[in-house]
């Protein structure tokens, strides 16, 4: 997989400005060149997936977008704004929500307190009630366990809580990093149905996922990363039919 296919038309018109654009982004961990010229776009109303093996740069891409780390060169735009060097807490206020790899919930806090932490930076407190209800409608089990410590939840419930906490930021763009990792197959199905539901409610989604079959089943477009570079991009339907993608990621 060395040639890059032309980007397919997303849900939004290509004439519309992307909600997110990375342009020739190079990100380092000290001397390790983790992202080596990443260029990608996510348009309003899309689900886009990033696929690749361990160490390909998927998590680093999301961390660069969310401001947890900053690129050494290249630019990141969110809407009309250059957010390349904007810190993470300010990006939350601008509408970038991030459910990180490994969930990273607050284990000693209750489910409700974890969700409240997701809304910590919000100024429109009068809308919080509706957002709590949105999360509890998506994840009824969190309502049942709202007073339970996050660290005592099952793995699947903790993943629900991580996504719910990110939704409490009221994001325009939701970044999901390996939402199905470590989950039983029935819970994987539930998580991806929730991703569909979140998208149907109007949130644009960028998802990193090792389960390529599930990710391409919900996404409109996808990018394949290898060792810090995008080597292929296309519609999800075309990627599912691509023999190299089938061989590398779909068990074909």
Number of domains in the chain: 1
Average pLDDT for the chain: 89
Phi-psi sector, 122: left (phi>0), alpha (psi -120 to 50), beta: beta
- List the structure tokens of 123: 């100024």
- Asked if residue 133 is part of any domain, the answer here is no
Nearest to 102 by CA among 59, 148, 47: 59
Burial category of 200 from C-beta neighbours within 10 Å (exposed 0-12, middle 13-18, buried 19 and up): exposed
Q: Three-state DSSP class for 174?
A: strand
Answer yes or no: is 70 within a domain. yes
Q: What is the CATH number of the domain that holds 194?
A: 3.40.50.300
pLDDT in tens, 155-204: 889 989 999 999 998 899 999 999 988 888 888 998 999 999 999 999 99
Is residue 67 assigned to a domain?
yes
Contacts of 140 (CB under 8 A, 6+ apart): none
1 in a structural domain = no
Interatomic CA distance for residues 132 and 22, integer angstroms: 32
Residue 224 lies in a domain: yes
Q: Is residue 159 part of a domain?
A: no
Of 100, 101, 82, nearest to 91 by C-alpha is: 82
The answer to whether position 213 is within a domain reads yes
What is the extent of the structural domain holding 205? 20-104+172-249
**pTM of the complete model:** 0.89
For residue 252, name the pLDDT band (cuts at 50, 70, 90): low
Residue 66 resides in a domain = yes
Strand partners, 225: 230
């Amino acid at each position: 997989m060395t040639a890059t296919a032309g980007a397919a038309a997303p849900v939004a018109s290509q004439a519309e400005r992307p909600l997110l654009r990375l342009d020739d982004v190079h990100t380092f961990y000290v001397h390790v060149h983790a992202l080596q010229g990443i260029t990608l776009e996510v348009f309003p109303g899309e689900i886009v997936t990033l696929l690749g093996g361990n160490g390909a740069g998927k998590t680093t891409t999301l961390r660069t977008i969310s401001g947890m780390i900053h690129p050494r060169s290249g630019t990141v735009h969110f809407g009309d704004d250059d957010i390349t060097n904007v810190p993470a807490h300010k990006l939350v206020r601008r509408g970038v929500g991030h459910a990180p790899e490994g969930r990273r919930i607050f284990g000693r806090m209750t489910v409700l307190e974890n969700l409240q932490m997701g809304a910590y930076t919000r100024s429109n407190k009068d809308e919080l009630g509706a957002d709590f209800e949105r999360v509890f409608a998506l994840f009824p089990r969190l309502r049942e366990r709202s007073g339970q410590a996050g660290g005592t939840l099952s793995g699947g419930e903790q993943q629900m809580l991580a996504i719910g906490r990110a939704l409490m930021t009221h994001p325009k763009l939701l970044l999901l990093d390996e939402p199905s990792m470590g989950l039983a197959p029935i819970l994987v199905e539930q998580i991806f149905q929730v991703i569909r539901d979140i998208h149907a409610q109007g949130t644009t989604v960028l998802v990193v996922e090792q389960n390529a079959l599930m990710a391409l089943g919900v996404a409109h477009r996808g990018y394949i990363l290898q060792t810090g570079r995008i080597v292929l991009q296309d519609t999800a339907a075309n990627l599912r039919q691509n023999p190299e993608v089938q061989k590398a990621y779909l068990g074909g």
